[in-house]
Chain A
């Protein structure tokens, strides 16, 4: 868990002493029997106060997550002994209690943030209960879209990366369910291009906004896990679009490849030229390997010749090895 209000439970000390000490041990410069002592002396293992902070966040976020899940499960159980109004009262009371905690603790403290996260989850439960009780006729995508709209003011105020990620996930879900509703499950499965485009735009826009604001100095946005998650989803979507195009899937167009190339170019500028972020570059390199393999497979494997398999395999391994060499050098550069 990060030192100040972060969601992820992580050791707070720098990761580098551990890596250096393990490197030295691998080189034989630290005797095996002394390794643990070296890690302790180097500050690579948690001591009393770090354990205390870790347990504080673990108990807080796990406790809140379990209570929130309990209420969702309870509503889903549709317990007949509890009337409709009692159910509404339950969820509304849960939201009210969570908001009282937010008010009492403030959004600057982890407790306040966790309470707001719970309140945001309860709003979803309330909307689901509304649909379940009154058969509003609303589609599922409307539930998620409504949920995202309803909690947006909290998300904007909270300055809490985990809540933003929840919000972006809700928008993604709403988009996916929208296409499922109007094109059916098989429409999504066999004609996914338009949906992928929409999701790619959503996630890339979110990543771009996040990066720009973080680089403009908004410190609480500098959460590597959140940016990496957005980078992974954005890259996976553009890679899938490119794979569909080079594989000749239905009517997937050349624009998919153009967009993928543009994504690669911008990623290079953002994560190599402007600022070094090896994780994103590694993801980009894997994307290149996958698209090249798909392109070669679609062109060469139609007759199932053995040589084509071998050629593609060697190209994949060669490309990935070259990428590995380049990225390893960049990782060294990042450590300097």
Chain B
């Protein structure tokens, strides 16, 4: 956006009484998402080598439970301080000068190393007694780091890995099929309030949850959830599968109702009833295709927030889920085929009705 259009935008906001004074000087400090991803991957590679250094130089540190936990905690505290000083080095926000960039990148790698040490230490402490307890401890660890380490990319990482650890823990307890529904509920709720309060925290949590949800959908869609990878496969399928699927559908219905209300559409109106009917069809299909509703929740939330990255994530979630759904062993291919066919026809029928009830010349030309 040029400075002229930026000033025009500011003027528009000022005339609406939303801002005051002159427009701020352009800073351009907010890095594009792909740059953050690139730096994150590089930081992760760097952290592997730092961990290798610790393993080679101080093997006792890695092998002992107490030493690994103390060193890991110290590394995380050090990383938090480094993130703070990198913001100071740039004068404005983290990573806007060469020194600030290096410090924040170094801090990220130090923190990842610390997290790995903490995980190893906790694992030694538990002596492999309970993978579920270990997973929930790791989730707690990531939650604490999410709150106290002042970096957006780091917070996304913590939200992702923390919720992924919790999902793994649920899987160990035989509650894995509830995970997509719980993640979708958290994601949809947060998505409604992401622009309120501490936006950096909320936005980081939203993006981390989206990645975690996509991961869970890929895994659970393919039926791995019920394999020995994620839980003891000794028991028959039980209530978690049904409750999880039903809850996912309920989350979608709730989200559609909330979005309708937010746009001033009365729930008793024809528009609202039509939208809720489509959501109900998808919720029903979700009973046999459990990833369908959570993927659409990502898509709708992303669009409602004007967030193209999350819209893309929703599409990726749908594609990944449909690809892995083929391999879900608990539902026969014939049943899957029927569910997908009738849902697809219902959606196409809904589109036809939409075009008749609310024609849009531009779309019809497109």
Contacts and interface: CB of A to CB of B under 8 A. Distances in A.
Interface of A: 3-5, 8-11, 13-27, 29-30, 32-39, 41-42, 44-46, 48-49, 51-56, 58-60, 62-71, 73-74, 76-77, 79, 108-110, 225, 278-279, 282-283, 285-286, 289-290, 293, 297, 301, 304-307, 309-310, 312-314, 316-325, 327-328, 331-332, 335-336
Contacts of B48: 313
B340 interface: yes
B303 A309 contact: no
Give me the 6 closest cross-chain CB pairs, A-B, nearest first: A66-B344, A320-B42, A313-B49, A63-B347, A306-B57, A70-B341
A324 B35 contact: yes
- Which of A8, A313, A317, A331 has the most B CB atoms < 10 Å from its CB? A317
B301 to A, nearest CB: 12
Contacts of B326: 73, 76
Nearest to B309: A15
Contacts of B35: 278, 282, 324, 327-328, 331
Nearest to B97: A325
Given A67-B345, A286-B38, A39 B337 contact: no
A185 B345 CA distance: 39
A71 B263 contact: no
B118 to A, nearest CB: 19
A320 B333 contact: no
Contacts of B45: 289-290, 293, 316
Contact of A29 (B24, B46, B97, B104): B24
Nearest to B323: A69
23 contacts: A3-B362, A13-B306, A17-B9, A30-B13, A32-B196, A59-B351, A60-B348, A63-B350, A67-B348, A70-B337, A73-B326, A73-B333, A74-B337, A76-B326, A76-B333, A109-B366, A306-B57, A312-B49, A313-B52, A317-B42, A320-B43, A327-B38, A328-B95
A56 B278 CA distance: 12
B363 A110 contact: yes
B293 to A, nearest CB: 12
A29 B341 CA distance: 51
B1 to A, nearest CB: 4
Contacts of A320: 38-39, 42-43, 46, 105
Nearest to A50: B303
A18 B306 contact: yes
Contacts of A23: 24, 27, 29-30
Contacts of B338: 70
Contacts of B315: 8-9
Contact of A64 (B12, B52, B344): B344
Interface string B348-363: 1011001100101011
B32 interface: yes
Given A41-B16, A60-B348, A77-B333, A22 B363 contact: no
A22 B43 contact: no
- Give the interface SS of chain B, mostly helix, strand, loop or mixed: helix
A16 B4 CA distance: 13
Contacts of B105: 317, 320-321, 324
A321 B98 CA distance: 7
B366 A27 contact: no
Nearest to B105: A321
B109 A313 contact: yes
B348 A27 contact: no
A328 B195 CA distance: 25
A39 B195 contact: yes
A39 B263 contact: no
A11 B303 contact: yes
Contact of B278 (A10, A59, A278, A297): A59
B351 A56 contact: yes
Contacts of B128: none
A297 B305 CA distance: 44
Given A9-B299, A11-B311, A30 B19 contact: yes
Given A59-B347, A66-B347, A322 B341 contact: no
A37 B366 contact: no
A325 B98 contact: yes
A69 B311 contact: no
A32 B19 contact: no
A26 B199 contact: yes
Contact of A42 (B13, B336, B362): B13
B308 interface: yes
A63 B332 contact: no
Given A66-B340, A313-B47, 10 more contacts: A10-B311, A24-B10, A24-B24, A38-B18, A67-B340, A110-B366, A279-B32, A286-B41, A307-B53, A324-B35
Contacts of B339: 70
Nearest to B110: A317
Given A18-B306, A32-B196, A109-B365, A309 B53 contact: yes
B1 A14 contact: yes
Contacts of A63: 344-348, 350-351
